[in-house]
């Protein structure tokens, strides 16, 4: 609830800010600079998070040795992120076209500061993952909510009172967010060490990278399954990042849209994904955390069924119910969001964005949200249930999906000349491919158990009829009373 309040307040402040900024500045910040930040942060943090999440609630001595190896891996997050930051900054400064001086004259400084922000936040990543491993889940929404409030406050004050600073307002706000996250996590973990309330894994010594007992070479830990998973997920996350923000990479690398058009796309896309950030992401993170603690990676054998039938029943039932809820949420957004798109744009942004292509883009985004809602759960189970060999196979499939994404992007944006809307349609196709693959993996996983949790996608006739009737009524109301 606290996270919901923070995000709602932040969105309101951003709406105010957008009315004071040009579309070109929005394009530079929301597409070019945020793409740099997300690339550095996600390519570094997500592989470590997915590979290292494993609960150690009442640790044995063997668990503490494994804990030491996990800690050693986690502290590798910062140097890896530093390398990504340097590499991406060089690309952004030397290989990409710079914005005109009429838009901004501080592009190079902004690139460096956004990369620095990502590196600073990565300092908190080992501590954040430790809190998740120990199921200290309440701290994350509090830290992120407070940091988001700090970021938005700095941005609002800078834009309203010192508009001449331009891009530096966004740089300072992003730096304030990263510093706030890092300071908050370290303050929290130091408090836990002092109180020693969770388990004996949290001690001053056990949070430092060090040689493992009876193993005086750090390279010896690189043979364990966690490190293999880390390497597999690293390749997987690169492909996933291309999928997630592929349209922004195409805009940035090939310049198919002007900065003004990129600004419109980013604002409308952010409005369309507001529900994703408020409702979907917390649910997906909780679902993945639960599955990572419950699901056995690889496949379910007959011995597993006999030994842990209750656990498999819990996993299958949870998967089916959460999938059904997410399908209903996605259908609700698609049904009512399609006809309310014009009204939402008019209320929040005025005439600047409520005309096409902004209107058409937001409507297709509502359809895209349905697919995102389903994929968040199906892919969450996929990531929790794959061993490193299956992750490698998934990487090959993702490579094929990336080729399909590039082809559909070219077809919709260039051949059909749909512009920014073409990117949204390409994302829809990409999401469908990923959902199909995830469902196939789930089918194989539960093949010997007698469970079929993907039935959560199947809705009854009356439910489908209700949504169809609501869509027709809302569309007719929009035509009659708005247009």
- Domain identity same for 467 and 335: yes
Q: Tell me: the pLDDT tens digits for 305-338?
A: 555 555 788 889 999 999 999 999 999 999 998 8
According to the model, what pLDDT value does residue 300 have? 60
Between 102 and 75, the more confident residue is 75
- Domain identity same for 272 and 407: yes
Provide the pLDDT confidence category of residue 3 given band limits of 50, 70 and 90: low
Winning range, highest mean pLDDT, from 14-28, 46-60, 114-128: 114-128
**Other CB atoms within 10 A of residue 303 CB:** 8
Lowest mean pLDDT among 232-246, 253-267, 330-344, 345-359: 345-359
Q: Tell me: the pLDDT tens digits for 413-447?
A: 888 888 888 888 998 999 999 999 999 989 988 88
Q: Tell me: the pLDDT tens digits for 262-297?
A: 888 888 877 767 777 777 888 888 898 888 888 877
Lowest mean pLDDT among 179-183, 205-209, 394-398, 448-452: 205-209
- Domain identity same for 70 and 173: yes
The domain in which residue 97 lies consists of: 1-223
Can you tell me the distance from the alpha carbon of 222 to that of 230, in angstroms, rounded to the nearest whole number?
10
- Domain identity same for 80 and 108: yes
- Domain identity same for 381 and 430: yes
Residue 462 pLDDT > 90, yes or no?
A: yes
Lowest mean pLDDT among 61-70, 99-108, 189-198, 373-382: 61-70
* Proportion of the chain above pLDDT 70, given as a percent: 84
Going by C-alpha positions, the residue among 96, 94, 121, 107 that lies closest to residue 38 is 121
- Domain identity same for 137 and 266: no
Can you tell me the distance from the alpha carbon of 369 to that of 72, in angstroms, rounded to the nearest whole number?
38
- Domain identity same for 213 and 252: no
Looking at the chain, how many residues does it have? 483
- Domain identity same for 116 and 238: no
Q: Tell me: the pLDDT tens digits for 35-75?
A: 999 999 999 998 888 877 754 444 444 555 566 677 778 88
User: Which of these three, 192, 207, 223, is where a domain ends?
Assistant: 223
Residue 197 pLDDT > 90, yes or no?
A: no
Q: b/e for 76-90, b at 16 or more Cβ within 10 A?
A: bbbebbbebbeebbe
According to the model, what pLDDT value does residue 311 have? 79
- Domain identity same for 179 and 268: no
User: Which of these three, 223, 256, 271, is where a domain ends?
Assistant: 223
Between 411 and 197, the more confident residue is 411
Can you tell me the distance from the alpha carbon of 22 to that of 64, in angstroms, rounded to the nearest whole number?
54
Contact indicator for 438, 375 with CB cutoff of 8 Å: yes
User: For the whole model, what pTM was predicted?
Assistant: 0.75
Provide the pLDDT confidence category of residue 243 given band limits of 50, 70 and 90: confident
- Domain identity same for 189 and 256: no
Can you tell me the distance from the alpha carbon of 133 to that of 201, in angstroms, rounded to the nearest whole number?
10
Domain count, the chain: 2
According to the model, what pLDDT value does residue 208 have? 53
- Domain identity same for 196 and 332: no
Between 95 and 22, the more confident residue is 95
* Proportion of the chain above pLDDT 90, given as a percent: 28
- Domain identity same for 114 and 216: yes
User: Which of these three, 190, 206, 223, is where a domain ends?
Assistant: 223
């Amino acid at each position: 609830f606290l996270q919901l309040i923070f995000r709602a307040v932040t969105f309101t402040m951003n709406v105010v800010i957008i009315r004071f900024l040009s579309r070109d500045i929005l394009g530079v910040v929301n597409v070019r600079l945020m793409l740099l930040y997300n690339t550095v942060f996600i390519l570094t943090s997500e592989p470590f998070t997915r590979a290292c999440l494993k609960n150690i609630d009442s640790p044995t001595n063997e668990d503490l040795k494994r804990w030491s190896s996990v800690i050693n891996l986690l502290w590798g997050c910062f140097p890896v992120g530093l390398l990504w930051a340097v590499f991406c900054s060089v690309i952004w400064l030397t290989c990409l076209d710079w914005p005109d001086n009429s838009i901004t004259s501080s592009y190079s400084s902004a690139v460096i500061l956004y990369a620095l922000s990502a590196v600073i936040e990565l300092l908190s990543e080992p501590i954040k993952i430790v809190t998740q491993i120990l199921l200290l889940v309440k701290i994350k929404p509090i830290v992120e909510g407070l940091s988001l409030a700090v970021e938005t406050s700095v941005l609002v004050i800078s834009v309203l009172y010192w508009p001449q600073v331009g891009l530096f307002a966004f740089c300072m706000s992003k730096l304030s967010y990263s510093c706030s996250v890092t300071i908050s996590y370290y303050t929290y973990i130091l408090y836990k060490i002092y109180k020693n309330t969770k388990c004996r894994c949290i001690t001053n010594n056990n949070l430092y990278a060090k040689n493992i007992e009876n193993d005086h070479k750090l390279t010896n830990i690189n043979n364990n399954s966690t490190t293999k998973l880390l390497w597999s997920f690293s390749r997987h996350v690169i492909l996933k990042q291309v999928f997630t923000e592929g349209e922004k990479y195409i805009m940035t690398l090939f310049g198919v849209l002007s900065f003004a058009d990129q600004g419109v796309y980013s604002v409308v896309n952010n409005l369309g994904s507001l529900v994703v950030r408020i409702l979907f992401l917390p649910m997906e993170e909780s679902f993945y955390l639960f599955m990572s603690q419950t699901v056995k990676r690889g496949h379910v054998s007959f011995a597993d069924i006999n030994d842990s039938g209750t656990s498999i029943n819990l996993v299958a039932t949870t998967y089916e119910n959460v999938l059904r809820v997410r399908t209903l949420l996605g259908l609700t957004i698609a049904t009512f969001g399609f006809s309310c798109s014009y009204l939402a744009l008019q209320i929040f942004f005025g005439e600047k964005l409520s005309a096409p292509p902004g209107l058409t883009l937001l409507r297709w985004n509502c359809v895209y949200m349905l697919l995102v809602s389903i994929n968040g759960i199906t892919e969450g189970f996929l990531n929790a249930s794959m061993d490193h060999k299956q992750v490698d196979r998934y990487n090959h499939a993702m490579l094929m999906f990336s080729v399909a994404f590039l082809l559909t992007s070219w077809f919709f944006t260039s051949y059909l000349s749909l512009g920014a809307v073409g990117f949204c349609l390409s994302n829809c196709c990409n999401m469908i491919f990923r959902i199909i693959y995830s469902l196939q993996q789930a089918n194989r996983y539960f093949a010997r158990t007698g469970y079929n949790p993907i039935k959560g996608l199947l809705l009854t006739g009356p439910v489908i009829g209700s949504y169809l009737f609501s869509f027709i009524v809302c569309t007719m109301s929009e035509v009659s009373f708005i247009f």
